[in-house]
A and B are shown apart, each in its own frame.
Chain A
């Protein structure tokens, strides 16, 4: 240090420099991610205690509740009914979404496709429509007295799961198609060419050559869809006023919103949120481990 003289003393030591550059990101991350998470955890361990009629001054206090809030939140059968609905929704949406996205991508990747650009854009375009707008639009189309389409009866009744999944599918398939299409474009032409020389038909090339090669992209798309499934909220919330069949706890996220902002019970909403976040994280990690581990294994060897 002494060698550098006066000039060096004013400068921060070399070990500090990276932290200086990181500081803004760390500050923002702490302020807007870590602190809210910590506060949510804090809220989830507390509850409100009212005394008497609850009308006097200071009759409402926040007390420590430990895991009681969690017991309460997890013990509500509505939460699990909602979780079941989401599972059903996912079982419906994920395969359809991936199947259609892959189908469209393979079709567009065929040599000499007519109207490729137009088709690609029109399949992708719904992704640019905000979820609320898409739900309002489809909601109107589902209402028997208003729709110009020959929609089946009861879409906003017993067929609700299909109605909601359809909106998600309509909005998401274009994006996933693009992810897969990009991967398809990266497949070296020699591979398909040699398959063709070996006498493979276009269908065989698509199924036996291209599809295995884009498995990583499929997994990516699958992961996105899975997370979007667990977070489904906009579509059912927007459709709810249009039908009797959609309670305010239709999905766990709707329950969180209603607990916090309609029932004014922020503590139970916080507890449910923590549980949901843990479940989503576990789901994603397990999915990545099981599926991706298998798919990428071939690549490494």
Chain B
């Protein structure tokens, strides 16, 4: 009897697997209600989506929480290929060309085209990729600025640097005064951070010239930025540990690191990793390469896109538009998710009257931030940012470990990126 019963659990397993395979794909809820799925990692975005669901009983959005990163791009592409992509997804600007090149996104131009006036021109370019299509609605941007420990700058008698030359000097002065602290660290784990710094210096890593791509990762500005940091690291005046590690968290909290060239969303990060230093930080514009220049880059920033495979493209586009331009929605994104909205009206909205809770002393934080954001450099992302980013992590990690020149690592990034594009058949010039 026992041996007769043994296959039954197996058969049940097979049956439930088959059942699981067939029950996918129904996206209409009870009573003809449209059901939309939304893959996102934005902080507390559920609370914003709740507002939509309350106001729109006929279109229900379900948030599926994801981890941000290159893996998510592959996950979306795989889901799209398998025929069950999410209706809506959060996409970082640098991933949009990859998505579009894989046919994963719907062109929502006819549904959202009229809102282009609500965004800065360079932000809108990020979601059109310079074509006639519109592949996403911008959500937030990440203009870079310098965060520093005002109390420790006072203690060591340091002046807030306005140029990178001054920045290097401050780093040296600090090391002359104390051996236990560094001004900041150079991270081989954060390609997006380095890309932002290169943007500020005037780099153009990718470009479109007619029907072919141009790649300029190994350009003069990028090499200069790389060697500037490489020099500081080999001089021993800037630390070389990665960001977003337990050790880095501790260093920000205990004053081992005095400054962090970061982006507008930094206060939320600092709050979560170094809560004890609340009120001790201040924000200044990112140092520039030439005195008196006003220019910055972007680190991060994302958009809301609609899958090409969605059965409800129009409803999804409506939601994407609402999420990023409706005053109630953007206010909630700011207060609940502490992100900096891409929509111009929202940037001067009431939610941004108060400084971030972590920098209570800097009452004009968002006014200053808006002025900085307006100086962000123009930028085009290429179709294989993931490859360039991985090359960054490997090549700069090796350069730090081996003590070789950082500009050589830039060369490796360039080479691998171009080789990957050529191998896949993209037309590449230069």
Contact status A263-B387, CB under 8 Å: yes
Nearest CB of chain A from residue B68's CB, rounded to whole Å: 13
**Interface bin, chain B:** 35 or more
The count of A-to-B residue pairs whose CB atoms sit within 8 angstroms is: 117
* Cβ contact of B101, chosen from A24, A28, A54, A140, cutoff 8 A: A54
* Cβ contact of A242, chosen from B103, B242, B423, cutoff 8 A: B242
A187 interface residue per 8 A CB criterion: no
Contact status A157-B101, CB under 8 Å: no
* Cβ contact of A24, chosen from B7, B74, B97, B102, cutoff 8 A: B7
Contact status B401-A245, CB under 8 Å: yes
Contact status B246-A247, CB under 8 Å: no
Q: Considering only CB atoms, which chain A residue lies closest to B75 in the complex? A: A261
Chain A residues positioned under 8 Å from B188 (CB to CB): 244
Contact status B101-A49, CB under 8 Å: no
Contact status B427-A52, CB under 8 Å: yes
Contact status A24-B245, CB under 8 Å: no
Chain B residues positioned under 8 Å from A58 (CB to CB): 103
Contact status B100-A55, CB under 8 Å: yes
A28 to B7, CA, bound (A): 12
Contact status A258-B390, CB under 8 Å: yes
B228 interface residue per 8 A CB criterion: no
Count residues of chain A with CB under 8 A from any CB of chain B.
41
Q: A145-B250, A263-B386 are in contact. Are A244 and B71 (CB under 8 A)?
A: no
Chain A residues positioned under 8 Å from B390 (CB to CB): 248, 258, 262-263
Nearest CB of chain A from residue B48's CB, rounded to whole Å: 29
B383 interface residue per 8 A CB criterion: yes
A146 interface residue per 8 A CB criterion: yes
A249 to B242, CA, bound (A): 18
A3 interface residue per 8 A CB criterion: no
Nearest CB of chain B from residue A19's CB, rounded to whole Å: 12
Chain A residues positioned under 8 Å from B75 (CB to CB): 261
Contact status A261-B246, CB under 8 Å: no
Contact status A262-B71, CB under 8 Å: yes
Q: A72-B423, A263-B386 are in contact. Are A145 and B251 (CB under 8 A)?
A: yes
A115 interface residue per 8 A CB criterion: no
Nearest CB of chain B from residue A153's CB, rounded to whole Å: 14
A244 to B390, CA, bound (A): 13
B131 interface residue per 8 A CB criterion: yes
* Cβ contact of B401, chosen from A25, A143, A144, A244, cutoff 8 A: A244
Chain B residues positioned under 8 Å from A59 (CB to CB): 101
Within 1-58 of A, Cβ neighbours of B (below 8 Å) are at 21, 23-25, 27-28, 48-55, 57-58
- 0/1 string, B251-284, CB within 8 A of A gives 1: 1000010000000000000000000000000000
Within 47-103 of A, Cβ neighbours of B (below 8 Å) are at 48-55, 57-60, 72
Nearest CB of chain B from residue A252's CB, rounded to whole Å: 15
Known: A50-B426, A143-B247, A261-B75. 4 other contacts (CB 8 A): A28-B14, A246-B397, A248-B390, A263-B387
